[in-house]
Chains A and B, each alone.
Chain A
Amino acid sequence: MAALSSSTLEAIQAQRTQLLAEWTRDLEDKGATRNLKEQELQQQTQEFLQLLISSLQSRTGENIGTAGWDEIRLFLEKLSNSRALLGHDSQQTASFIFTLKGPLFALLQKHFSDEPATLAEQLWVVSELLDALGMHTIRTFQRSREAVIKRQQEELLELSTPVVKLWDGILALPMIGTLDSQRTQMVMESLLQRIVDTGAEIAIVDITGVPTVDTLVAQHLLKTVTAIRLMGADCIISGVRPQIAQTIVHLGLDLQGVTTKANLADALKLALSRLGVSTVKAG
C-alpha cells in the first residue's frame, strides 16, 4: 500500500484553519452537531486534527492499530462514549470523521491538480485512513451500547427470581413478564433448589404478572409442576385471570392434573389447609 507523502502532510498543516472551518460547516449542514455546544465541537475538531497531524508526523504508518495511534484512538473512544450519552445514534457519531473527507479531498485535489497519479494515490491513502478511524468510532460506540444492554439483561435476571417463603413449608414464586427463553429455566431451577433447601411441601407459582400464556409457557409450567412433584412436593398455579383461562381452553391445553387458583390468596388458603393449618380471626 502506498504511504502518505510528506507533501500531503504539509498541505494539511498549511491549510489547517481552512480545513477546520469547512469541516465544522459541513458537520453543521449534516445535522451531526445536534445537542452539541459550538465551543465543544470546535474543541473536538481542533483536537482531532491536531492528533491526526501529530500521528502522521510521527511516521508510524497508516495502520491505526499501532502504538503511534494510541492517542487518537483514545480520543475517539472518549468521543463516541460522550456521543452515546448525548443520545446520538451511530450514524451521527461516525459522521464526525466521515465529514472530514469532503474538505480534505478538496484540499488534496487543489494541491495535486497537475499530478493525477499522485492525487489518486494520496486520496486512496487518506480515504482508507479515515475509514479505519470512522470504523473504530462506530465499533466503540456499539460496544458502549452493548455494555448497557448486557447490564440491563443481567439486572433483569436478578430481578426475576424472587422465591419467597409464605409460611413454614410454603414457597411462592411470583412470575413476571415473558415466560419463554432461558429466563424461565433459571427461575425454575432456583425454585427447585429452594424446595430442597427449605424442605417446603407446597410451592405456589403465581402467573398474575405473565401477560401471555401460550403453549410454550404452558409446557414450561407443566414441566415445573412435574419436577416439583417428583421431588415429593406439591404445586399450585395461581393468578389465572379470566382471559387467560379462556385462552387456555381455546388452545386446547390440558391442565387438569394441575391445581389452579384465580389468585394468590386462594392458593395460600388451600396450601394452609393442606398443611392442616387453620386461621381464625382474633377476638
Chain B
Amino acid sequence: MNLRSSGTQPVRLEQDVVLARQTARKLATECGMRLIDQTKLVTAVSELARNTVVYGGGGDMDWQVLEDIGRVGLRLSFRDQGPGIPDVRLALTDGWTSGGGLGLGLTGARRLVDEFDLQTAPGEGTCVTITRWT
C-alpha cells in the first residue's frame, strides 16, 4: 500500500465542518470515486467533523490518499484533545446521544465507510479514522 499524498486541516469551528466536507469531496473526486461513494464519504466526514467540533472541542483532520493494487482509497482521521468517550459501546449504539442530536452520527458514519477505527480514552481525546476505497 503506497501513500500518494497527505495533509492536515483544522476542524475548530462550525464553518470548518463545511471546509472539511469540501476537502473530502475534492479528494474523493480526485480518487475517481463514484458519486454515490463520494456522497457517503462526505456525509461521514460531515458527521465526524461535527463531532470533533461539538464534543471534542475542536481538533484536526488528517487526510491520506492511498494506493493499493487496483484500487485507490481515501483515509481521514479526526483527532481532538477533548474529554474522550467513556463508554465506546454505548457511543456506538444507534440512537444514543450525549448531546441533542439524533444519536446516529458515529454509527451512521461507520456504516458509510469501508474501514472504521475509534481510539479514545476518558480525558485523552478521541481519534476516529475512516477509509473508503474505490
Contacts and interface: CB of A to CB of B under 8 A. Distances in A.
B130 to A, nearest CB: 13
A36 interface: no
Interface in A193-213: 211-213
B43 A214 contact: yes
B14 interface: yes
A252 B43 contact: no
Contact of B108 (A211, A243, A251): A251
B21 interface: yes
A215 B39 contact: no
Interface string A251-264: 11100000000000
Interface residues of B, number: 24
Given A215-B47, A215-B101, A252-B108, A246 B40 contact: yes
B36 A243 contact: yes
Contact of A250 (B21, B42, B108): B108
Contacts of B36: 242-243, 246
Interface in B15-29: 17-18, 21, 25
Most buried by B among A214, A215, A244, A252: A214
B108 A212 contact: no
A252 B104 contact: yes
Given A214-B47, A247-B112, A252 B14 contact: no
A215 B108 contact: yes
A149 to B, nearest CB: 11
Chain A interface, DSSP helix/strand/loop, else mixed = helix
Contacts of B42: 211-212
Interface string A171-195: 0000000101100000000000000
Contacts of B77: none
26 contacts: A178-B18, A180-B50, A211-B42, A212-B39, A212-B46, A213-B43, A214-B46, A214-B47, A214-B50, A215-B104, A216-B46, A216-B101, A218-B102, A242-B36, A243-B36, A243-B39, A243-B40, A246-B36, A246-B39, A246-B40, A247-B43, A250-B40, A250-B108, A250-B112, A252-B104, A253-B108
A242 B34 CA distance: 12
Interface string B89-129: 00000100000011011011001100000000000000000
A6 interface: no
Contact of A212 (B43, B94, B101, B105): B43
